[in-house]
Structure 1
Amino acid sequence: MAAPDDSRVPRRPGLLGRQFRRVSGPIKESRGLPRVVLWIGTAITGMWVLVAIFAPWIAPYGYAQYQTAAGERFPKHLPPNMDHLLGTTVQSTDVFSRIIWGARTEVEVVILAVLFSLAIGLPVGLISGFKGGWLDRVLVLIMDALFAFPYLLLAIVIAFLLSDVLASGVLTAAIAISVVYVPQYFRVVRNHTISVREEPFVEAARAMGARPRWIVTKYVFANVVQSVPVVATLNAADSILTLAGLGFLGYGIQPTQGAEWGYDLQRAIADAGAGIWWTGLFPGIAIVSLVTGLTLLGEGLNDVLNPLLRPRRTEPVKFPDKQDDGAETGRTQPEQRGKS
């Protein structure tokens, strides 16, 4: 007896495939302004991500390079020209190269900060919302205490405490920023978990004898994780400003470890009074551009994925009219009245 042909049997998509279809479906069906906002934010953010990936090939010089290969030092405060497209700084570094290398630093810190925040806030919020009781009260108290601190002050304290252990690098900045945003992920996930755990399908799973771990991973997580991409995108935009604030105050990335736009703005304060505008203008434009792109991306995702805000495509419904003898005609109701 021949074995059945498995190639004709449709395979069910896995968990990741189902989640991807659940997220991509509303994006494909989106219409109007939310779709435009989403794609504009995606284009701006994608542009900076590509710049960060190909920074070694785009930047003409290194982020701390101040002289040519022949040993000649770049002029200080040189205006934009053909050799230095965006001019030079007081340290004789190329502004364009520092912006390109700074994009890589910003993207690295944002990705690490979002991953660290998700790795802590998502499981802790799930456990707190599903278990409840004294554990939930303790975790809520801790997260509210962290949330009560000003986010920039908390990031400065964490960066200062870790500077002696990890030095002031990308990892230190990412950890300092992630501590700030863990309470936000915790709140969103916990509140959503509390509402999902009372749904009938969760009660049915309990009645069938399913273990709590299976219920959380199989049913609760799939419904809670839908709100995470929007929060992660908006927090990524906010983390750019936090990193720029740390660099502006001197607690971010050190100039010998990487280029950072907030540090460049701090060094450009003295230049602004002397009429040297290019050292501070272009890093500021880079910060505003990336923050705007991430914000538009987050707002677009919120409008598209939220069923209460998502606009749906509607088509007019035409009902066929009938003549006196009961036969259907293609005329509209006003035309029939005019004929009669």
Structure 2
Amino acid sequence: MTFITNPRILASAAQAGGRLQSQDGALANLTSGYYPTMQVELDPHARALFCFMRPDGRPSYTPELLRDMSAIQRDIYCATTAPAPAAFRYVVVGSRIPGAFNLGGDLHLFGAQIRAGNRAALQAYAHACIDIVYTNATGYDHRVTTVALVQGAALGGGFEAALSCNHIVAEKSATFGLPEVLFNLFPGMGAYSFLSRRMDAIRAEKLILSGRVFTATELYDMGLVDVLAEDGDGEATLRTYLARLDRRYNTHQAVLQARHRVHPLTREELIAVVDVWVDAALNLEEADLRKMDRLVKAQTRRHGDVGLRSAAE
């Protein structure tokens, strides 16, 4: 019998042959370089699984990256299934792209599908993103503790992905922002839900509508970042933090579960909000889409070339 509740995980297992991967098989996948756009490393001493994003081109949530993240999440579920003890207690999400955690949604795909009026494609992409952040936020049905290690820029969906984790460790030079308002949209992949739980609705809305880029220190002062690390020391600081958490593992797990009880987050809430985002995206005018295009070009100049196949497909 399985107690996995995430419908995407169950659907993925069904497509793979109607059953979930065995615990040993899933762990073998996780430690064998099985995912083209991700680098996964198991640190037995830290009892942590490190999942580093490394998408081709502009560091955004491409369909290929979402595919690999979904597969990793399925294997993490299976690798942490009782009764055998799991090989790790913590799942760390980071990036191997210098200067960037993640710049957010695939804006080339958005522009192409909005211009085509393709609601189904936008909705499918958005729901895939929601399943990723929902799994982070719920700690894989409370099996593990999720931690974001932010080195570089975390913008749009990148910021939302960091917020979805139970803890955030950020280097001091890291930056965070929700630029969607610059092209007349709003961040729909969880920002409102996560920020309003970590802060309050009024301050969350002010942050979302500001369009500002914040430093890690500013977010630490707001209580959004849990630990600040010196530049270049992010991974070492994170391991120290995990060791501190592990010394009181039972307490921290109980507090996380209490947090979920007091401020419950449902997949249905996230889906309802992201469907509002889909409607708003389809209402964008050509002038808004040109602003989106200019943002892509600016990010491309700073962070590297973009694979254009997403927009063409």
* TM exceeding 0.5: no
Larger Rg: 1
User: Please, what TM-score do these two structures have when normalized by structure 1?
Assistant: 0.24
User: Please, what TM-score do these two structures have when normalized by structure 2?
Assistant: 0.25
Higher share in helix? 1
